[in-house]
Structure 1
Amino acid sequence: MSERQRDVTLRFLAEPGDVNFGGKVHGGAVMKWIDLAAYACSAGWSGKYCITAYAGGIRFVAPIHVGNLVEVSAKVIYTGRTSMHIAIDVQASDPKNLERRLTTHCIVIMVAVDEAGNPSPVPEWVPVTDEDKLLRDSAIKLMNMRKEIGEEMEAHVKYLKPDS
């Protein structure tokens, strides 16, 4: 692979089949689009098949309407040995005026795997700009917070298990 692709943007129209009971695009449809963009981004960076290991901090900040032009932008903001942290922004606009508005954002962690399904090393991404360094630092901070939350959840689950 001669060149790595750090970011990707998927664009499409929100369809009537994507609607929820409230008449807006269903959150599950948005989450599917997020996963597709995260895969395209991580595969473009690593040159390998990738699987979703984590999707978190999903914030739905504005609705998407049927017929909106939707842009799902994904960008590598941190790499581990086999994982890539992907920042995702979803924007929508009326295709007649193209005034985009942020609707959703989150972080997705993708893991590259080999043919046997085992984690496989990925190229390191090194931030250059100040903005990239802030994004990397934020990813590291979130990673540490997830570790703490995971430990707390394990303790919580332990107390919820019925006595054997």
Structure 2
Amino acid sequence: MNGTYVLPFFQNRHGVAGVLLKNWQIGGVAQFSSGLPFTPLENYDQVGDGQSDVGLQKPNLTGTVNYPGTDTMWFDPSAFSVPAAGVFGNAGRNSLRGPNLKVADISVFKNQRLGRYLVQFRLEAFNAFNWVNLGLPDFFIFNAAGGVRNPTAGRIRTTSTPARQIQLGMKFLF
């Protein structure tokens, strides 16, 4: 969702105070979404056909996937097992979901007329509330032939958005 609002303050001011204080606007864009779906995978050719893409084969889902929901254990990988040699796993495509996302970008700006030209002063804050948005967890459950469990499976090691960033700007419109 997004919007812009003209601040109604100081609109009747004249002189230097009017130049400095009137015609300010505030704008914003906010994005909220449930987590992205992802597929648990194996990082080797379990089927052994030499044709399947390594990293795109799925493990077996053998239990209920628990979601502790922390960065050190987003989902519990012990609900998965290695399929029998030569058999594709039964884990469904996009059967797991990553963390939610929330971002708000805010800008405050002023348009100032200079004769027939326009100067715009801007202050912008990206991820203005500095919300931490975790990335997807490591979804490779097994990483070597023989069913060696990936020690980082289920852990989140990245963020999906950067920390708050603030910038000042000025545009000259003619």
Q: TM-score of the superposition, structure 2-length normalised?
A: 0.21
Tell me which protein shows more strand as a share of its residues: 2
Larger Rg over CA atoms: 2
Which structure dedicates a bigger proportion of its chain to helix?
1
